Amino acid sequence: MTTVLIRRTVCLGLLATVVAGASGCSSTVREGRSPAYLIVQRIEAASGAEDDIFSDELSSDVLTNNSVFEDLARVTFRLGLKDIGPAGVPTSPTANNFITVNRYTVTFRRTDGRNAPGVDVPYPFEGAGTVTVLATDSTMSFVIVRTQAKVESPLRELTNGGTVRTISTIADITFYGRDQAGNDVSVSGAISVNFSDWGDPDA
The pLDDT value recorded for residue 18 is 34
Phi, psi of 12 (to 5 degrees): -65, -40
- Given a cut of 50, whether residue 22 has pLDDT beyond it is no
Domains and CATH numbers, the chain: 43-196 (2.60.40)
Supply the pTM of this predicted model: 0.81
The pLDDT value recorded for residue 64 is 94
Give the contacts of 8 (CB within 8 A, at least 6 positions apart).
none
Span 59-68, mean pLDDT?
Answer: 95
- Given a cut of 60, whether residue 132 has pLDDT beyond it is yes
Cα 70 to the center of its chain, rounded Å: 18
Peptide bond into 154 cis (omega under 30): yes
The pLDDT value recorded for residue 55 is 97
* Confidence band, pLDDT 50/70/90 cuts, at residue 24: very low
Q: Quick one: which of 196, 194, 193, 176 has its CA closest to 185?
A: 176
Cβ neighbour number for residue 15 with a 10 Å cutoff: 10
* Most confident range, picked from 13-17, 83-87, 191-195: 191-195
| Percentage of the chain lying above the pLDDT 70 cut | 82
**Partners of 61 in the beta sheet?**
196
Phi, psi of 21 (to 5 degrees): -65, -40
Residue 192: left (phi > 0), alpha (psi -120 to 50), or beta?
A: beta
Span 8-35, mean pLDDT?
Answer: 43
